[in-house]
Amino acid sequence: MIRYHIGIDVGKSKHHACAHDTAEDRYTKVFPFTVDRQDFERFLLFLRSQGPVNEILVGVEASGPYALTIGNFLLEHGYTVVEINPFQASQFRKAQGKKAKTDRVDARSLAAFLAVGSYKPLTIGDPLWENLRELTRFRVDLIQDRTCQVNRLQETIAIAFPELGAHLASLDSPTSLTLLAEYPGPQALVEAGTNAVCSCLFEASHHRLGITPAQAIITAAGTTIGLLHRQRALALKLEVLAQGILAVNMQIQRVEAAIEEMFRQLPYDKSDFPVGGVQSLASILAEIDDVNRFPTLKQFLSHFGWCPRTFQTGGFSQEHPRMSHAGNRYVRRMLWLLAIIAVNTVPAYRD
């Protein structure tokens, strides 16, 4: 029988906890503790002073990585820990008439919310799934970082040397990036000369490009309409961005190799699925974890936002509502892309 509700307002270096005795409707003073083992052990003593382990429910706000360490620590000591939606917690605090927002107010509000709100139980997962999910999410973040840098590179080229795109298939290809890292900008290309540029292209493209594209690039660089008076700054930007993208590409390759190794340890095979490569399938499976943790198919689909956003009022009901943007952000778009591929390539889905 749960009697004590513990709300924890998590922070980067310091947490605040408050206990609510539901039997007596009594709140304790807010208990602050820092993010280190000594203070975590001190917080354990605070919990034990409230009551036995089986009578305590701990709620932590889902605020990124800061809640993971305290949540895992309490789970290892046998406590029941749940994750509270930050938006729901905020609306609950406002409904209580509390306009002030402080760590102490939030901790007490979270403790009260556990009595009326909905939350998701936390568990210590299988190490393979936990590590795979960490890497697949990290890969998504790295790809987003690379996309931002590529966009910045293309904007810089449009100012410094807009004609370059006509002579290279892709400005973010390994060949183009290697060339820009070595000779960033039209002035550097002209000063290097045709032979040096040809050698760079020849090596970077694995012997596919040579003297002809090198001559065309040198000619275009000599007559460019780029802003030559900014070349000192633009050249540095091009060099740094090209080197950065090449470095991120290597990091992504390392992460993808580790993901492939973990994927081979899963009780699945790529051929079990109609479409998708190892990276996309690993991302989806990592976010599913154990499929049996979803009581119904509807909850399973909702986890990925793969459900319509129903709109109904009075006698009106929207016939074709848009898909919900809720759910897991790491695989929602990936599922949509794979669905398009499946419809176009798999006869059963196309029919």
Residues 106 and 54 in one domain: yes
* Pair of tokens at residue 142: 């790295």
Do 250 and 328 lie in one domain? The reply is no
Residues 277 and 187 in one domain: no
Mean of all residue pLDDT scores within the chain: 89
Query: How many structural domains comprise the chain?
Result: 3
171, 237: one domain = yes
| Residue 315 pLDDT greater than 80, yes or no | no
Question: Residue 347 above 80 pLDDT?
Answer: yes
Strand (E) or helix (H) holding 234? helix 231-263
Can you give the CATH number for the domain in which 102 is found?
3.30.420.10
Please give the single-letter amino acid code of residue 162: P
Residues 98 and 212 in one domain: no
Residue 307 has pLDDT above 70, yes or no: no
Same domain, 140 and 238: yes
Mean pLDDT of 7-29: 92
Q: Which residue range is the domain that position 169 belongs to?
A: 130-261
Residue 255, pLDDT above cutoff 90: yes
Helix, coil or strand: residue 82: strand
pTM above 0.85, yes or no: no
Give yes or no: residues 207 and 300 share one domain: no
Burial grade of 298 (CB within 10 A; 0-12, 13-18, 19 or more):
exposed
| Sign of the torsion angle spanned by Cα atoms 175, 178, 182, 188 | positive
What digits encode the pLDDT tens for the residues 189-229? 999 999 999 999 999 999 998 899 999 999 999 999 999 89
- The two three-digit tokens of residue 343, written as one number: 């419809």
Find all residues with CB under 8 Å of 349, minimum gap 6, and list them: 274, 342, 343
Token digits for 53? 């382990």
Q: What is the pLDDT of residues 126-183, one digit of tens each?
A: 899 999 999 999 999 999 999 999 999 999 999 999 999 999 989 999 999 999 999 9
DSSP-assigned states of every residue in 169-228: S-TTSHHHHHHHHHS-SHHHHHHH-HHHHHHHHHHHTTSS--HHHHHHHHHHHHT--S-G
Q: How far apart are CA 328 and CA 85, in angstroms?
A: 14
What's the token pair of residue 144? 């987003």
